[in-house]
Structure formats: C-alpha cells, structure tokens
Structure 1
Amino acid sequence: MINFKEVNETNQMIENENLDVRTITLGISLLDCMSGDLEVLKKNIYEKITTLAKDLVKTGDEIGAEFGIPIVNKRISITPIGLVGSGACKSTDDYVELAKTLDKAAATVGVNFIGGFSALVSKAMTRADELLIRAIPGALAATERVCASVNVGSTRTGINMDAVRLSGEIVKATAEATKERDSLGCAKLVIFCNAPDDNPFMAGAFLGVTEGDAVINVGVSGPGVVKRAIEGVRGEGFEKLCETIKKTAFKVTRVGQLVAKEASKRLKVPFGIVDLSLAPTPAIGDSVAEILEEIGLEKVGAPGTTAALALLNDQVKKGGVMASSYVGGLSGAFIPVSEDQGMIDAVNAGALTLEKLEAMTCVCSVGLDMIAIPGKTKETTISGIIADEMAIGMINQKTTAVRLIPVIGKDVGEIVEFGGLLGYAPVMPVNEFDCSRFVNRQGRIPAPIHSFKN
C-alpha cells in the first residue's frame, strides 16, 4: 500500500523536483499486417495503429490529471519495419511510403513519436534490411514523428561491420537530407548494439518479435529528485550516498508502476515493463550531470566522472528493481549532451570531450547520445565512432547506442538549436585521423569468447 507519507513525498517531487513520467509507450505488433502488396500493407498498418492507439493520448492525459503526475509523452513502438515490409517493399521508395503511412497514423492518434522504422542486422543483412537502411534518410526527411534504429551488433553474434560502414553513410546522408533543419533527422536515428526489445524511449524504441499483440511500457524519469535527495547527504560516506540514491529510485519507480498499471487497465492492454532511466531534459534542475557534480565533481568530465556515473547507474537499478516486478528497457542513467544543461555547460567549459563521453558509456544506460559534431566529418569517421561504441556493448554484454548529429554547415564551437526535449548543443570536435582502411574491411567482428554460453 502507498501511505500518506509517500503521497506527500511524491507531491513534493512533482511540484519542486521535476519528477515526471517521461512516456507511456504502446507497443503494437504489425506481424499480422504483412502482405506482398504495398497498398494492402499500408492499409493494414494504418488501420491497426489507429484502432489500437485511438485512446492512448486521451487515457494518458486523464491519468495525469487524476493522479497529478505529469505524463510528458505518449508514444508508439512497432515491429521492425525491415521485417514487416520485406514482402511488399522492392525499393527504398517503397519503404519511404511506409514511413509516411506510419507518420500519418501517428498524427491521427496524436502521439509525438512512433518508433520502429528499424532493421536488426547484427549478423548479416537481408536485401529487405539493406533497402530499409538506405531508405532512412528519405524517410526521416519526409516525416515528423517517425524514429529509426539499426541494431548492428550483439554479444552473441559480434559486430556486422558491413552494417556499421553503411550506418556511417546513412547518418551523413540523413544529415544532408535534413540540413535545412540543422540536420534534425539524425536526432531520430539510433545505431545499437544489444538493442532491448522493450525500450519505451525514443528514438530507439521498437517492439520485439517475441512480444504479444500489444503491450504498455512506461518510462519514468527523475534526475531532479535524485539530485535534491543527495544534497542532503553532502560530506557523508559512500554507503549513505548509495542508500539515498536507492531509496529515491524506489520511490520514482513506484510512480511509474502506478501509472503503467492504470494505463494497462484502462486501455485493456497487458502491462510490459517500467524503464526507470534517469532521462534528463534541458530544464534547469533536471540534469544527470548535476547529480554527478553533487556527488563531488567540479564539472562532468573531471577525473572520477566514470566512477561516479557507475555508482549512480548501479544504485538506480538496485532501487528500481525492488519497486516493480517488471523492470526493463534501458534502466539507468542517460547522458544525452543536447538534452542535459549540465552536460552542455561541461562541454562549453572544456571539461567534457567525446573521448570522455565514450569512457562514460561503459557504465551508463545507453551510449553516445545527442552529440552534435561538425558537418564536414567523414562518413568513415562516423562509422569508426559507431564501431568503437558497438565494441563496448559487445564486450561488456550491455546495450550501447550512437546518436550522432553531423550538423551540415556548422563547425566546432557553434551552437545548434533542436527545440523541445531535444534541447540545444555545442558542436564538439572529432578526432580527424583516418580509420577508413579499418572500416572498409568487409565482414563481421566475431563474438567475444564469453558469448559461448548455452
């Protein structure tokens, strides 16, 4: 039971500490929509999404109003389109048409994003997968709400370097296709290793093929709540610090569990998971970087940053798993540069570099996230950065991802404004030494020895 003390604490977190439910995400399987006829496929997809999701936004708003809990986003994740469209799509233009159908359906039901314009190619690419990947620049340029992802590696299969090389080309092509909007399309494109099937957070959300016909997943967020809590234990030892973070993560996750169960009941859709990631926003006081600085760093990027982030991530997970039987998704701490004011300040102060961010991704929830780089960056350099991040995920048996934005026409030190939750970012320098001979080798980096477990 939730007692009055918890109710009062929750109200305090909502009113003064930026606690919110970042997203209710309705997962929808499109496997039964498949057809060899493109027009039939588009019709099936549109009808299924608009039928199952017709009450999603209204229900989220009603729960938020009744419980007094801000529910920021309502979103949809779908079966990877690389699979769904494989029978009907014979060209990149066909996949772009499917993306437009997804965008139309998302607009009809009123969600802000729909994720799943995706391909899973950690071992090899089918012809359909390759067509979808090559269609991503056109799809993201022609839509507003569609998000794309490509899973190019896993601990079990290794890293598909052919897909990594292609992904670098596609990131750059997406930047060019949306250069009139500061290459915004790249903010809706994620390259993964070990992508989870049940991730409610965009831009990497899709519904795994092992999921049912529909599912409700919820993502909670509370960096401001955690920062306020640990302000009360300044000067205390690590045991006290860790206990404080765990207890706070427990309370935050309880809020997500409550919302998820209620949404499941009202929409008559099974409850899936709560993702308890600390996902920052550009709002003052809603920053993961500020938590790390409260732990004891002058600026994020200082020596000790990776250790502090590892501590935070682990305690968030430990506290969250006690509050819900079904914790999933990414769950931990996000470090998206453009969406976190403290990260932006650290970059501007010269404390935080791309290389330090890469080190931090060994212990964070995701990886190199929402990082603006010079528009002149070579495709092979982008592929090399992706390969490095995929290797961290593969070896460490964790999810890693890359969301780089090569901003066409802008260079180091210039500012890029994305707006809304995507925030703004300074363009960061990239190591320009060449890696093309490495990236252009064909084939796959084998799975590590510890992957052989049966």
Structure 2
Amino acid sequence: MINMFEVNETNKMITQENLDVRTITMGISLLDCISDDLEKLNQNIYDKILRLAHDLVPTGEAIEREYGIPIVNKRISVTPIALVGGNACKKPGDFVTIAKTLDKAAHEVGVNFIGGYSALVSKGMTKNDENLIRSIPEALATTERICSSVNVGSTKCGINMDAVRLMGDIVKETAELTKDQDSLGCAKLVVLCNAPDDNPFMAGAFHGVTEADAIINVGVSGPGVVKQALTEVRGKNFEILCETIKKTAFKVTRVGQLVAQEASRRLGVPFGIIDLSLAPTPAVGDSVAEILCEIGVEYPGAPGTTAALALLNDQVKKGGVMASSYVGGLSGAFIPVSEDKGMIDAVTAGALTIEKLEAMTCVCSVGLDMIAVPGDTSAASIAGVIADEMAIGMVNQKTTAVRLIPVIGKKVGDNVEFGGLLGYAPVMPVNRFNCENFVDRGGRIPAPIHSFKN
C-alpha cells in the first residue's frame, strides 16, 4: 500500500529536487515495412509509425497531468535502418529519403526525437551498412529530429577498425555540414560498443531485432533527488552513503515503473524496460557532478572521482533492480559534459580533462558524451578517441559510447550553445599527438580472451 508519507515524499522530489521521467520511448519494428521499391518502403514506414505512435504524445501529457509527474521527452526508436532499407537503397542518397520520412513522421506525431538511423557493424560492414553510414552527414544536416548511431564493436566480436576509421570521417563531415548551427549534427550522432537493443535514450536508441513489434521503454532521472538525499548524510561512512543512494534509486525507479505501466496500458503496447540512469540536465541542481562533489571531491576530476563514480553507479543499479523486474537499457550514471552544469564548471576550473573522463567511463553508464572539441581536430584523432572508448567497452563487457562534437570555427576555451537539454559546453583540448598510422591499419581488433564463453 502507498501511504500519505510516500505521496508527500514523491511530491517533494518532483517540486524541489528536479525528479522527472526523462523519456517515454516507443520502440517500433519496421521489419514488416521492407520493400525493394523505395517509394513504397518510405510509405510503409510513415504509415506504421503514424498508426502505432499517433497517441504517444497525448498519452504522455495525460499521465503528466493526472499524476503530476513531469515527462520531459516522448520519443520513438525504430529497427536499424541499414537492415530495413537494404533492398531498396542502392546509394547513400536513397537512405537520406528514409531519414526525411522518419523526420516527417516524428513531426506528425509530435515526438522530440526518433532514433534508429543506425547500423550494426561490430564484425564487418555490408554495402548497405556502408551506404547508410556515408549518408549520415546529409541525413542529420537535412532533418531536425533524427538521431543516428553506429555500433562498431562488441565483447563477442572485437572492434571493426575499418568502421572506426570511417566514423572519424563521418563525424568531421557532419560537423562541416552543420557548422552554421555550431556543428549540432554531431550532438545527434553516437558511436557505440555493446549497444543495447532496448535503450530509451538518444542518440543511441534503436529497436533491436529481438524485440516485439512495438514496446514501451521508459528512462527515469533524478540526480537532484540523490544529491539532496546525500546532503543529509554528509560526513557519514561509506555504508550509510551507499544505503542512502540505493534507497533513493529505488524510490526514483518506482516512479518510472508507475509511468511505464500506465503508458503501456493506455497505448495497448507491451511494457519493455525501465532504464534507471541518472541523466543530468543543464539546470542547476540536476547534476551528476554535484553528486560526486557531495560524496566528497572538490570537482569531478579530482583524485577519488573514479572511485566515487563507481560507487554511485553500482548503488543506483542495486536500488533500481529492486524496484522493477525489467531493468534494461543503459542504467547507471551518465556523465555528459554539455548536459551537466557541474561537469561544465569542472572543465572551466581545469579539474576535468578528456583523459580523466575516459577513465571515468570505465565505471559509469556510457562513455565520452557531449564533448565539444576544436573544429580543426583531425578525423584520425577522432577515430583514435573512438577506438580507445570502444576498447574500454569491449574488454569490460559494458556499453561505451563516443559523442564528440568538433565545432567548426571554435578553439579551446570557446563556449558553444546547443540549447534545450543539450545545454552548452566549453571546447576541450584533444591530445595533439598523431595516431593516423594506428587507425589506418584497417581490419578488426580481435575479441578479448574472456569473450570465448558458450
């Protein structure tokens, strides 16, 4: 039974501590839309999205009003388009027509973003995969709500270095084509290792081929709630600290579970998973960095930061799995720079570098996320950063990602404004030494020894 104390506690978390449901994401399979006629394929895709998702946004808004729980985003993820478009798309430009169809459908149903303009190439690339990847810059430059992802590695397969090298060029080209928007296209493009099939968060969301025809996945948030809870145990030992985080994560996840079940019932679509990640925003008080400071480091990046983040990530997961039987997606603590005011402050203070962020990604939920770098950063250097992060994911059997934004015309120390949840970011330096001979070798880095399990 829910008592009045729990109701009041939840109300306080919402009104004073920035608790929200970050997204309701409807996953939609497009496998039954496949056709060898491009025009028919586009029509099939548009019709199916409108048929299944036409009530998604009104339903989310109704739940917000009735329960008083903010739901920041309503989103859609679809089957990786490289798989869907292969029969009909013979060149990169053909795939761009699908991107425009997806964007049109997203506008029509009113969602914030639509993910799944994706390819899965951890072991090798088909011609269809390569055509989609080469279409990404134009697709992101000519649409508004499309998000794109490419999975280039996994613990089971190793790292496809041909795809990594190509993605260095694609990130640069995307930056150039969207330079009039401070290279915003790169904020909607992520490179992944061990990408999950049920991630509700952008830009990495896609609807995996093992999923049902349609599914509801919900991503909760609540860094402000955790931070506030920790102020009440300031100076206490680690046992008390961990118990506090765990109990708070449980409460936050229960809110997401309620929203997920209600959205599933009203839409007539099965409930998939709760992603219980702590996803920050640029708003003051809604920061993972501030949690790390409350745990005891002066700024993220100070000695002890990686240990504090590991502790936080683990306790969030332990609390969340008690609150829902279906926890999935990424689940943990996100450390995007531009989307977290505390991370921005740490970079500005000189406490946080890309190298320290890379170390932190060994224990957090994703990877190098929403990091603005100088516009003259080479494609080879970007590929090298991607390779490093993919190696962390491959060896540690976890999801890692890279979302770098080489902002054309900007240099170290400049600030870039992306707006909304994407926030703003100081341009960070990238190691100036060359890795071109490494990323140009081609081929595949083999899977680690511990991948041989069956």
C-alpha RMSD of matched pairs (Å): 0.4
Partner secondary structure for residue 39 of structure 1: helix
Counterpart residue number, 1:237: 237
Residue 389 in structure 1 maps to residue 402 in structure 2: no
- Cα separation, 1, equivalents of 2:315 and 2:420: 29
Please name the residue that 2:415 is paired with: 415
Residue type of the alignment partner of 1:372: A
Matches within 5 A, 1:94-243: 94-243=94-243
Question: What stretches of structure 2 of length at least 5 have no aligned partner?
Answer: none
AA matched with 1:201: F
Is the aligned partner of 1:39 residue 2:39? yes
Question: For residues 36-435 of structure 1, what are the structure 2 equivalents within 5 Å?
Answer: 36-435=36-435
CA deviations 1:216-235 (Å, max 9, x no partner) are 00000000000000000011
**How many Å apart are 1:14 and its aligned residue?**
0.1
The answer to whether structure 1 residue 15 and structure 2 residue 23 are counterparts is no
Q: Distance in 1 between the 2:210 and 2:3 partners? A: 37
C-alpha separation between the residues in 2 aligned to 1:101 and 1:276? 31
Q: For 2:212 and 2:257, locate their aligned partners in 1 and report how far apart those are by CA, in whole Å.
A: 20
Q: Which residue of 2 aligns with 1:452?
A: 452
Aligned mates of 1:198, 1:432 — CA distance in 2: 37
1:25 counterpart residue number: 25
CA distance in 2, matches of 1:125, 1:311: 38
Secondary structure of the structure 1 residue equivalent to 2:302: coil
SS in 1 for 2:134: helix
Distance in 2, Cα, partners of 1:289 & 1:34: 44
1:53-107 CA-partner distances (Å, limit 9, x unpaired):
0000000000010000000000000000000001000111101110000000000
* Percent identical: 80
Aligned-pair CA distance for 1:5:
1.6
> Once the 2 structures are TM-superposed, how far is the Cα of residue 3 of structure 1 from its aligned partner?
2.3
1:16-75, Cα deviation, whole Å (9 max, x unpaired)? 000000000000000000000000000000000011000000000000100000000000
> Could you report, residue by residue, the CA deviation over 1:173-226 in whole angstroms, capped at 9, with x for unpaired residues?
000010000000000000000000000000100000000100000000000000
Structure 1 unaligned spans of 5+: none
Tell me the CA shift for residue 2 of structure 1: 2.4
**1:281 Cα shift?**
0.2
Letter in 2 for 1:405: I
SS, match of residue 40 in structure 1 = helix
- Residues 270-315 of structure 1, C-alpha deviation per residue, up to 9 Å, x if partnerless? 0000000000000000000000000000111000000000000000
Secondary structure at the aligned position of 2:234 is classed as coil
Q: Which amino acid aligns with 1:305?
A: T
Amino acid at match of 2:106: A
Specify the code of the residue in structure 2 equivalent to 1:257: Q
- Cα drift, residue 148 of structure 1: 0.1
Which amino acid counterpart does residue 346 of structure 1 have in structure 2? A
- Counterpart AA for 1:407: V
Find the aligned partners of 2:183 and 2:417 in 1 and give their Cα distance. 10
* Whole-angstrom CA distance in 2 between matches of 1:81 and 1:286: 34
Q: What is the rounded CA distance, in whole Å, between the counterparts of 2:81 and 2:177 in structure 1?
A: 21
Distance in 1 between residues matched to 2:101 and 2:232, nearest whole Å: 50
One-letter amino acid of the counterpart of residue 350, structure 1: G
- For 1:254, the aligned partner's letter is R
CA distance in 2, matches of 1:7, 1:261: 18
Q: Secondary structure at the match of 1:402?
A: strand
The Cα shift of 1:432 comes to 1.1
Aligned-pair CA distance for 1:412: 0.1
Q: What is the total number of aligned residue pairs between the two structures?
A: 454
Q: Distance in 2 between matches of 1:398 and 1:99?
A: 29
How much does 1:7 deviate? Answer: 1.1
Equivalent position SS for 2:357: helix
Q: Secondary structure at the match of 1:244?
A: helix
Equivalent position amino acid for 1:187 in 2: A
Measure, in 1, the Cα distance between the counterparts of 2:18 and 2:383.
Answer: 36
Distance 2:4 2:183 in 1: 48
Query: 2:277 is matched by which residue type in structure 1?
Result: S
AA partner of residue 100 (structure 1): K
The residue identity in structure 2 corresponding to 1:335 is I
Q: How far apart are the structure 2 equivalents of 1:80 and 1:157?
A: 19
Give the TM-score, by structure 1 length.
1.00
CA distance in 1, matches of 2:424, 2:82: 31
Question: For the residues of structure 1 that align with 2:314 and 2:214, how far apart are their CA atoms?
Answer: 30
Letter of the 1:62 counterpart: A
**Structure 1 residue 393, shift from structure 2 partner:** 0.1
Taking the aligned partners of 1:31 and 1:416, their CA distance within structure 2 comes to 39
Mapped to 2, the partners of 1:355 and 1:380 lie a distance apart of 17
Deviation of 1:248 after TM superposition, in Å, equals 0.1
CA deviations 1:83-142 (Å, max 9, x no partner) are 000100011110111000000000000001000000000000000000000000000000
Q: Quote the Cα distance in structure 1 between the aligned partners of 2:209 and 2:3.
A: 39
Per-residue deviation, 1:8: 1.0
